[in-house]
Amino acid sequence: MLYDDKWNEINRIPVRNLAEELKRISHNQTYGVVFDGVVTQRIIDIANEKNVKVIIGARIGNITKRPVNLVILSFKDLIS
């Protein structure tokens, strides 16, 4: 799900379409992304290009580049 900066839902999409949907959005259109999948470097790179500020996923994969302006959390991080 994609959210604006007040955490209002913008769009609900299947996880398999997340990368393509992020590519289509306008810069600064989406503040947060929450999905039931693995946060990958590819998702992070696309989200960072679109100025997304928060990504929350079921798990965090092998991340080699963590943008300083992007918060990346797993569901486990939220309940810890």
Q: Rounded mean pLDDT of 58-62?
A: 96
pLDDT value at residue 28: 86
Read off the pTM. 0.92
Going by pLDDT thresholds of 50, 70 and 90, the confidence category of residue 80 is confident
* pLDDT tens column, 27-59: 889 999 999 999 999 999 999 999 999 999 999
Over residues 7-30, the pLDDT tens digits come to 999 999 999 999 999 999 988 899
Give me the residues paired with residue 9 across strands.
3
Q: Spell out the long-range contacts of 32-41 with Cβ–Cβ below 8 A and sequence spacing 24 or more.
A: 32/2, 32/3, 32/7, 32/56, 33/1, 33/2, 33/3, 34/1, 34/3, 35/1, 39/63, 39/72, 39/74, 41/65
